[in-house]
Amino acid sequence: MFASSFPSLTCRSDKFFYHSRRPFATLRQHSNQGPQKALVRELSPQFAIGALRTHKALSIDLSLAKKQHQDYISALAQCNVHIIQIPAEDGCPDSSFVEDTAVVVDNRVLITNSAVKSRSKERLGVRNIFEELNYTVVNMDHPATMDGGDVLFTGKEFFVGLTSRTNKYGIEALSRAFPGYRVTAIPMNRFFPKKNSPKYHTFMSLASSSAERPLHLKSICSVAGPNAIAFANSQLGSAIANYMQDHSGVSKALRHSGKSLSFVPVGIPELSNVVYANGTLIMRDPEEFEVDRIQTPFLAEPGEELIQFAEFEGLNIAFVNMSEFAKADGALTCCSILC
């Protein structure tokens, strides 16, 4: 059992629930079938110069990024999924972050509306491919905005980050698009210290790391296996994992059978974004990360918790170096749509 012992939270408002009052038992029964396809998008030739990034000074090596993207696709292919690669969207440097453009569950796809102008055209090519594949396509329109990076689907329910990219109208649109599933919004800002709190200045200095000021919900947590969520074992990551655990319909429904969600704490926050499909866990290469043994003598080896979890669950592991994508605030989930 890898459930962590993170501290309890006090925030428990129902304000952020959309379908939470529906008893979980009345919601759709989940099928255990894993994804059959992975949609990926060719790297834009403008990726290195034009991709949005929090840390503007970071320079991206385009040829290394291309290699990493190829390795990523090879790792996905090991997950027993059929790879569908579509061309980059013309004039959209971020279009390889295809996850943000759509949310797919069963045979239905919600094409999201980006809050960022430079990314708004990306949805065109994605919508076309899903129409060709005969999915039921639902479009999200203004004022709703969403990035798929904020949407964590456990297979049974949605958790959605309320962020600078995803607003409450976007979450309402998601609830309408997938009426059979419970949707819980996670108000990310609520977990940051208030400006007048004594912790604020410490927090802001830590916040130079994008892991502590994540762009998306899934920058610091992701599905790591059946009923398992990996999360950054940081103050913010633990608070969010705690919130999910408290608000999960599955936890409540299955509490008595002992089959609730389990949470895998990951010491290096950037390693908490993983891809799980059909018995394989893709994680960032632990060699990308160095542990400062003087500052943090007791920290586990990078990725050790995930590797132990995968071994315990009998999952295959694939490592992929994503350093160039991370410079543009991306990681593993963002480069594909599993469906």
**Residues acting as catalytic residues:** 216, 334
Query: 210 or 251, CB closer to ligand CIR?
Result: 210
- The stretch near ligand CIR (CB under 6 A) out of 79-87, 91-99, 220-228, 255-263 is 91-99
Contact letters (x/-) for ligand CIR, 200-219, by CB under 6 A?
---------------xx---
| Gap between the Cα atoms of 268 and 271, Å rounded | 6
Site for ligand CIR in 98-127 (CB under 6 A): 99-100, 116, 119
Size of the site for ligand CIR (CB under 6 A): 17
CA-to-CA distance for 68 and 225, rounded, in angstroms? 23
Whole-number minimum distance, CB 297 to ligand CIR, in Å? 32
Residue showing tokens 């696709």: 73
Burial 190-225 (b: 16+ CB within 10 A, else e): ebbbeeeeeeeeebeeebeebbbbbbbbbbbbbbbb
DSSP state string for 84-147? EEEPPPTT-TTTT-GGGGEEEETTEEEEP--SSGGGGGGHHHHHHHHHHTTPEEEE--TT----
Question: Which one of residues 4, 126, 329, 337 is an interface residue with ligand CIR (CB under 6 A)?
Answer: 329
Q: Residue 286, preceding bond cis, omega within 30 degrees?
A: no
Q: Does 328 bind ligand CIR (CB under 6 A)?
A: yes
Q: Does 334 bind ligand CIR (CB under 6 A)?
A: yes
Q: Which of 253/335 has CB closer to ligand CIR?
A: 335
Nearer to ligand CIR, 313 or 329 (CB): 329
Q: Which residues contact ligand CIR (rule: CB under 6 A)? A: 51-53, 94, 97, 99-100, 116, 119, 147, 149, 215-216, 328-330, 334
